[in-house]
Amino acid sequence: MRGFGINFTTRSPSRNHLSAHFLLGNSSITHVSTAAPTLPPKRVITTKPRFSDKVFRGVVTTGGFSSLVILGLISLFLLYNGLNVFKSEGLKFITGFDWIVPLPEEGLPAQYGIGAMLYGTIVIGLIALFFGFPISVGAALFLSYYAPEWLKKPMVLVIDVMAAIPSIVFGLWGFFVLMPHAEYWAKLIHKYLGFIPIFDMPANAYSRSPFIAGLVLAIMIIPIITSISREIFAQTPLDRIQAAYALGATKWSMIKAVVIPYGRGGVIGGAMLGLGRAIGETVAVYTVLNIVFDIRIEVLLSAGGSVASMIVNKFGEANPDELRALMASGFVLFLVTLLINFLANFIINRTARE
Amino acid sequence: MSTVSIPRPSKPWGFNLRQSIPDFVGAVVTILITYASVAYTPLKGKLAFVFVLFISAVIVSAAISAIRRDRKAALNSVSTVMVYVAGIFVIFPLGSILYEIIRRGIGGLSFGMFTTDMAVTASDAPLNEGGLLHAVVGTLYIVVIASLISVPIGLLTALYLTEIKGKAAGTVRFFVQAMSGIPSIVAGLFIYAVWMIALGNQYSAIAGAMALAILMIPTVARTSEEVLKLIPNDLREAGLAMGGTQWRTVAMIVIPAAQSGLITAVILGVARIAGETAPLLLTMGGADALNLNPFNGNSSAIPFYVWKNFLLGTETAINRAWSGILVLMIIVLFFFSLTRFLSGRKGRV
C-alpha cells in the first residue's frame, strides 16, 4: 500500500512533465514548420450583415408586409369595381332601401340602396350581443372563479370546439333544430310582451326572423367573447383579489370591486370582436333570416336584413351592373368590420398591457 | 394542574353536515316549487320548467343567504346562480349540435358515398345512390392549395414580427389581427373581382383556394408568432455567438426548435378554413361531377355540397346535407384534436 502511494507520487510529476514536454515540443514543431512566423490576418469586426442575411431580411420583411398589401388590394379592387355604383347612387347607396334591378327591355334606371340591409345587420348584431354577451361574461366568470378544478379543462375544450364549428353547421342546426323552438319562444314573447312595439306582429309569420338569426349568431359569438374575457380575467392581479377576500368580501363583491373594473376594457373589446363576426356572418344567417328590403322595427317578424347574406342571395343571378353594386356592398361591409376590429383590438391590447 | 386546553384540529372550510342542511333544503324547496308551478299553473312545458326552476333557484338561495347572513350574502348567492346558469348555457348548444349531427347524419352515411359523385343522381334519388367523392376531392384540393399559398406568407409574417422586429412590427401585428376579422364573403368577392373579372378566369378550385388562403394567413401568422416567441432568446444568441448569420440561426436553430408548434399553427389554419362556405359560393361554381383539374372548371367542396343539398330541399337532399355535415365535422374535429395532441405532447409550445 505504502509503496504504491510512493510510486504514485513519484510517477505523476514525471508524467506531467512528460506531457508538458510533449506539448512544448509539439508547439515548437509547428513554429519550425512555418518558415516565417506570421499572424493570421486581423478579423474585421463589423455589424454589416452578410449577403445571405440581406436576402433573408429582405424576403422576410416583404412577406411581413403581405397582410397590409392584401388588405390594401381588397379595398382597392372592391372600391374599383363598385365605383360606378358609388358615383351613380351617391349617399343614397347607404341611406336608401330600394334594390331594384329592372329588366333590360324596361329601360328604367336601377336603384341600389343597402340602408335596410345595414339596419338589419345592426339589429341582428345587437340581438346576438343581447343574448350572447351576458352568457359569455357569466361563463368566463364561472370558469375563472366558480368552476371546480376538474370542470375547467373540459369546459375550455367545449368552448374551443364551438369556435371551430363551421358556420354552415350552425346554419343547418339553426334552421332545423333551433328554429322550431325559437318560433315558440317568439310566440310567447309576443303574447306576454306584445305591447312593446318591437315585439308587435303585423302578420302571423314567426319563422326566419331577426330574433332567430340573432339567437344563432349569439351562439356563434359566445366562444369568442368567453375566451377573450377569460384571458383578461386571468390577468387580474392576485394580490388585489386576495386583499378583497381578506377585507371580508364575498365572491361577488370581490368580482364587482376587483375583476370587473380591471377587465372592463378587454371584455368590451371581446364583445366588439364578437359583433364584428356577427356582422360578417353569411351562411348561418342566410338560412335563418328572410331578407327583405324594408326597415321594420318588429324583430319577431319574418323580415330582416344582413349585408353579407344579401350578397350571397343576389350573387347567383346578378347581371354585371348588379354585380358592381354587390362589390360596393362588400366594400362597405369590409370597411365596417375592419373598423370594428381595429377598435376592438386597440381596446383589448390596451387593457392587456396595463 | 395545567389548565391549557389544546383546541381540537378542525377544518372549518371543509364539508360540514350541519351547515349544508339549509342548502339541501333549499334545493328541495326549489324543485318542489318548480314542479308545483308547472303542475298547477298555466306555465307548461320544458321551457316553463327551466324558466321557473331558474327563478325559484335565485329566490330560494337568496332567501336562505339573507336569513343566515345578510343582504350582501344574498346578492352573492343570486350572482352565483346566474354565473352557473351561464356556464350551463355555454355547454348546451354544443351538445345539441353534436347530437343532432350524429342523429340526422348517420343514416345517409355509407361507404358508397365516398366512391361516387352526384353527376347522374337526381336530388330525390334514394340515399344509397350518389355520393360526395367530388366534394371530398374538392376540399382536399382547396385545403392543400390554400396551405401552399398561406403557410409561407404566414410564416414570413411571424418571422418578421419575432426575428426582424422591424419598426413596423407593431403596425403589422395590428393589421394581421384586424385581417383575421374580415368577413369570409369579402375574401370571396375580392378573389372574384381579381381572378374572374380582372383576369378573366373561370370558376375553379384554385380560385376557392385563394379566397381561403386570405382567411388562413392571419391564423397561421398569429399562431406561429406565439410559438416563435416561446423559443428562448438564448438559442438565438448561441447561434449568433457561434458565428452563424441570422439566416442560418433562424433556419437551423429557431425553426427546428419551433417545429411542432409551427405544424400546429398550420393545422389550426386548416381547421379554420376546411368548413368555410361563403367564399366558395362565389368562386368554385359548385359542380355535381368529379373534377380532377383544380385549375379549371366548376368544382365542389364538402361545405358547398351541404349548401346545395340544403337549397334543394327535398327530403333525401336534406339527409344528404346532414351526412355531408357529419363528414365535415369529423374532418374538422380530426384536425382540431390533432392540434391538441401536437401541442399537448411537447410542453406548451
pLDDT at residue A211 is higher than 90: yes
Residues A75-83, mean pLDDT to the nearest whole number: 93
Q: Do B86 and A173 touch (CB under 8 A)?
A: no
User: What's domain A114-353's superfamily in CATH?
Assistant: MetI-like (1.10.3720.10)
Q: Is B199 on the interface with A (CB under 8 A)?
A: no
pLDDT at residue B208 is higher than 50: yes
The per-residue pLDDT for A33 is 53
Q: Which of A67, A141, A159 sits opposite B179 (nearest CB)?
A: A67
pLDDT band, very low/low/confident/very high, at B117 (cuts 50, 70, 90): confident
pLDDT 10s digits, B224-251: 999 999 999 999 999 989 888 899 999 9
pLDDT band, very low/low/confident/very high, at A91 (cuts 50, 70, 90): confident
Q: Do B185 and A311 touch (CB under 8 A)?
A: yes
- Grid coordinates in use for B320? 344528404
Q: Residue written as cell 368552476?
A: A147
Nearest to A234 by CA among A347, A145, A161: A145
> How much of chain A exceeds pLDDT 70, in percent?
89
Mean pLDDT of chain B: 87
The per-residue pLDDT for A1 is 37
Residue spans per domain, chain A: 51-105, 114-353
Residues 184 to 203 of A: which have CB under 8 A from any B CB?
184-185, 188
The per-residue pLDDT for A69 is 94
The per-residue pLDDT for B55 is 84
The domains located in chain B, with CATH, are 19-107 (no CATH), 133-345 (1.10.3720.10)
The per-residue pLDDT for A296 is 86
pLDDT band, very low/low/confident/very high, at B1 (cuts 50, 70, 90): low
Q: Are B138 and B300 in contact (CB under 8 A)?
A: yes
Query: Which of A68, A73, A151, A169 to substitute to test the interface with B, most B CBs within 10 Å?
Result: A169
pLDDT 10s digits, B191-207: 999 999 999 888 999 99
pLDDT at residue B169 is higher than 70: yes
The per-residue pLDDT for A30 is 47
pLDDT 10s digits, A150-178: 999 999 999 999 999 999 999 999 999 99
Residues 32 to 71 of B: which have CB under 8 A from any A CB?
47
pLDDT band, very low/low/confident/very high, at A34 (cuts 50, 70, 90): low
Residues A196-205, mean pLDDT to the nearest whole number: 86
DSSP B254: I
- φ/ψ bin of B260: left (φ > 0), alpha (ψ from -120 to 50), beta (otherwise): alpha
CA-to-CA distance for B133 and B138, rounded, in angstroms? 8
The single-letter code of the amino acid at B12 is: P
- Grid coordinates in use for B244? 452563424
The per-residue pLDDT for B118 is 81
| Residue of higher predicted confidence among B105 and A29 | B105
The per-residue pLDDT for B140 is 94
pTM of the model: 0.86
| Residue of higher predicted confidence among A12 and A212 | A212
Closest-CA distance, B2 to chain A, in angstroms, reads 35
Cα B92 from chain centroid (whole Å): 16
The per-residue pLDDT for B2 is 62
Mean pLDDT of chain A: 85
Residues A133-141, mean pLDDT to the nearest whole number: 95
Q: Which value does ipTM take for this structure? A: 0.88
Residue B266 burial class via C-beta count within 10 angstroms: exposed 0-12, middle 13-18, buried 19 and up:
buried
